[in-house]
Structures are given as C-alpha cells and as structure tokens.
Structure 1
Amino acid sequence: MAGKEIAVKKHVVRLSAEERAKLTDFIGSGKRSAQLLTKARILLKADVSNAGEGWSDGKIAEALDTSVANVERTRRQLVEEGFEAVLIRKYNPKCARPRIFDGAAEAKLIALACGPAPAGYARWTLCLLEEKVVELKIVEKASDNTIGRTLKKTFSNRISNSNG
C-alpha cells in the first residue's frame, strides 16, 4: 500500500474481487456508452482494497481525461446507490421531448392517411398530412418528419414522401 495515495474521503471505494472482475469484463466488452466505461475505469482506479490502485481523484481525472467532480460523483454514487447503479444509465424524463402525437391524435392521423386523398392529388403526401393535421387541430404543429415517423410505426407504403 506504499504507492497508493489515500486521502480522507467521505465516499471510499472498496471493491470485492467479484466487482473488480465485473468492471474489467464491462470495460473489455466495449459495448457500453463512453460515460459508463469511464465510470467503470474510475472505480477501478479509485479502489483502495488490496487489489486496487487507490489513485487520488486528481490523478484519475487527469489519466481518464475527465473532471475531478465526475470522479467524486462516481464514488458517491457507488457508496450511496450501490455497485449496479453506477453501471446503468439513468433515464431523465426532462431530457426526452414530449410526444406530439398521443394515442388519440395518432389514431386520427392514421385514419386521415387511410382516407381519400385531397382533390387534385392521387395520394396523401407527408407535407399534405402535415398541413391537414394542423388545419383539423389534431395537433398544434408537426413536421413532415414527425408525421413520417409516426406512420412508419404502423404502415407507410401508402404515403409518398414527395411534395406533390
């Protein structure tokens, strides 16, 4: 333990051999987000157990090209929420955009798209549908991309992506 820098910390990382093996496999798979891989590397470097490296937060931050605050948050999350919580990406509902088409509006859009095309057109286009759903006050506003994505979930071969 002579080479380890151990400072008095509120959230100390002590990993079991099993947890270290899980983290090593986690990093080795490379099939996770960069954020989660960095957290796994932070835990391995911050581990003060006999098998760990016990690096300081500053040294970890420099080596992994991250911030000291990120290292501190990761240590705190391990201690407060547990090992598994660190390796799962949290869903933040504030980051997700609210859906424009709820179930009822989506049903009205599908019914409209399945119905006869407007006069002068052989079939509905995404732009025509975009204008019509706003005109009929099904939704306040929508783009042709949103219309296309919504319809693609159910069907899309009757809709043309052309403007006319």
Structure 2
Amino acid sequence: MGRGRRDKVYLTVEDRENLEQISRNGYAPAKKILHARILLMCDEGKYSKRTWTDEEIAEALQVHRNTVGRIRQRFLQKGEKPALERQLRKTPPTPPKVDGSSEAHIIALCCADPPEGRAEWTIRLLTSELKQRQVITEISASTVWRTPKKNELRPWKTQRFCIPERDLARFVAEMEVVLDLYSTEPCEEEPLIAMDEASKQLLGEVYPPIAMQPGQDKKEDYHYEREGVQALFMFVDPHRGWRRVSSRDSRTRIDWAEEIRQLLDEDYPNARKVKLLSDNLNTHNIASLYEAFPAPEAHRLARRLEIYHTPRNGSWLNVAETELSVLSKQCLDRRIPSKDKLKEEIDAWQKSRNQNASKVIWRFSTSDARVKLKHLYPVFEQEE
C-alpha cells in the first residue's frame, strides 16, 4: 500500500465510544489498548477531529508504520475484535532444546567433579561436554546457563564450613570454658593472660621513598628487599589493660617456654598462678617447659601456670588476637627493614598502649552464647 493511498476507516459513534473506553482502561492488556488507540487515530469519519497519516500515527505511538497498516487491514477485513486481540501463532511453538532428560544431565554434570586438568565447571565447558557426550548436539552456552540458574547451581563457588556438625559438642564445651574465664572477677593472685603469635616480614627499600607533599601522596618503589621474618609473641591482660609484645627469630617450643618464664618471673612475679589463654598450637603446653629447662625449673614454672585453649575454629575468642590486629593496623602496616627497627617500633607502641591502660571489655557471656549461637548447640532446650 503506497504512502498516498490507503483503505479508509470510518468508525461509528458506538465504535468510537467502545474504543475510547478500552484505551482508557488501565486493566486491559497493553496490546489491546495500543490497538484501540491506533484504530481511533485511523478513523477518517465525520466524528474524527483530525486525519492522521500512518507515519504520524507510528511516530506518536512509537510503533512501526507497518503495524498501523496491519491493524487497519485486520479491522476492515475481520472486524473490531480480531483487530484488538493479539494474533495467534500460525505455527506451533518450537519445542525446547532442554527437556527433562537433558536438564537432569546438566544438573548431574554440575554436581560431579570437573574433567581432569580443570578446577571447576564453566558454562562453556558444560556446553562442550554435553555436545561431546551427544546429550544435545546443538545448543548455545546461554541456553545451557538457564538450567544451573533455575536450580541455583553455582559450580564455580565453594562454601567452606567452619565447624563440622560432628564437632559442635566439643566446640561449645570449650567455648563456654573460655567465656566463663572472661566473666570471672579479676584476681591479682590469679591474673588472666591471653597470648597469641604472629609473624612480620622485614622488608628493606631498594630506592628511598619520596616523602608526601601538599597535593602529592607518599611514593615508594614496588621493589623491595627481603630481610627475613620475625616471630611476634603477644601477651595481654584484658582486665589490667597491660600487654607485652616480643619479637624473636623463631617460634619454637624453646622460644615459647622462654616467653612463659619471662611472664611468670618478670611480668607477674607475685602471682600465685597465671591463667593463660592461648590457641591450640602444639608448642603451647607444659611439655615445652620441660624441653627448654631442667626438670626442677620446668616443674616450678608449671605449678604456677594454668593453661586454657580456645576451641579449634574459635580463635575469635582470644582477645590477644584482637590486640594483634590493633598492633598490625597501628604499627606494623608498613615496610620495616630490620629486627632492631621492629623492636623499637613495637616497644614504642606497647609503651603508649600501656600508659593509656587500654583495656579489652568483653561483654559476650555464656548466657549470650546460648541465645545468639544456639544453632551451634547440638541439644538446645527451647523456651516454653
């Protein structure tokens, strides 16, 4: 049909009223409302206020010009209802490429181990494997992706559990011992000391860094020289607000035993017994004292030491770990070139912290754990 000639539409009063009602009906399908507006604008009868061209109608309603022509022809040939309703497909829909059987294959592949030499399943790898196994000979990666997405399968993601189900009883038992320690009233004769270990790599500069200036950040070269590693021993008295940090060349049983001797004989010489809270490292036990000192000396130290261990997977229960984090952020988060420089910086940091008596206020109690961590308790008594 040319631009100059077109079959004209003449609407009656009843036709216009019906179409106007549909076009204003917010509950009608969007296609039906659009077709009603097209017919109203196509009307060239005496009740129409303006004659619109197909191009003007298409531009006004944001549709293609051919769409306007098809709606007009359908109205003239078949009437109002066929023109307003969506035209049915003449051919049956194409059957989906992924049926129940092939979807089960895709799910099984996602849940199985990937081929040798591959760390994980990717969508491309799944598509290639389906074709290779003749499950589906022609399929795109985007079509394959629909099945893992629908079934919430993420073969590239691995979640790691922190506490195995079979280990819950052991965890909560040891956790409550630690929580009870924190909630016990502080005693000068039996102070509670938390300890933890860390390491610091010593790094020297290859080229001197450029100091910061207004409008210019500090700059340092990407290259550096490795100057060794120092072991850090952190001892914290959370009630007193005292801590001591030592750096050593190693962290063997001998090193730990010597740190314990210093804790008992120099830091707390008047304490009848020291309650030491540490992690489960194999050097943190009485046997290390007997490996480092003669039996009488080891026995003397052991009688003044009561060791408690944080549960495995529960290092967050150790306040010394928190203090190490503070040390790292405030003091060690930079390049330190030598052991002497490291010792100077650590001594200055701990002096400042001890002068301020920065305490650790632990507020999480056993009763809190039984409420907030009740999912960890194998048998939990529900409130009536």
Q: TM-score, normalised by structure 2?
A: 0.31
Aligned to 1:141: 138
Q: Which has the higher contact order (CA 8 A, sep 6+)?
A: 1
Residue 140 of structure 1 and its aligned partner are, at CA, apart by 1.0
Instruction: Please list, as runs of the form range in 1=range in 2, the aligned pairs for 1:41-120 lying within 5 A after superposition.
Output: 41-47=37-43, 51-53=47-49, 55=51, 59-64=52-57, 65=59, 67=65, 70-90=67-87, 92=89, 99-120=96-117
Q: CA deviation at 1:155?
A: 2.3
- The C-alpha deviation readout for 1:83-114, integer Å capped at 9, x for no partner, is 344344445476x7763322322222222222
Q: Cα distance 1:128–1:63, how it changes in 2: closer, same or farther (>3 A)?
A: closer
3-state SS of paired residue (2:146): helix
Q: What is the deviation of 1:44?
A: 0.8
In angstroms, what is the RMSD of aligned CA positions? 3.8
Equivalences, count: 143
The worse-fitting range, judged by mean Cα deviation, of 78-87 and 121-130 is 78-87
User: What SS is found at the alignment partner of 1:123?
Assistant: coil
Which residue of structure 2 lines up, in the alignment, with residue 18 of structure 1?
18
Please state which structure has a larger fraction of its residues in helix: 1
Contact persistence 1:126–1:148 (CA under 8 A): yes
User: Compared with structure 1, are the counterparts of its residues 151 and 92 closer, same or farther at alpha carbon in structure 2 (3 Å cutoff)?
Assistant: farther
Q: Show structure 2 runs of 5+ residues with no match.
A: 158-384
Q: CA 1:10 to 1:32, structure 2 compared with 1: closer, same or farther past 3 Å?
A: closer
User: 1:63-87 CA distances to partner (integer Å, 9 max, x unpaired)?
Assistant: 22464x6544322322444434434
Q: Which of 1 and 2 has greater Rg?
A: 2
Comparing 76-85 with 122-131, greater Cα deviation is found at: 76-85
Alignment partner, residue 129 of structure 1: 126
Question: C-alpha distance in 2, partners of 1:120/1:135?
Answer: 17
Q: 1:6-28 CA deviation, whole Å, 9 max, x = no partner?
A: x9x586443141322212x26x8
Q: In structure 2, how many angstroms separate the alpha carbons of the residues matched to 1:93 and 1:99?
A: 18
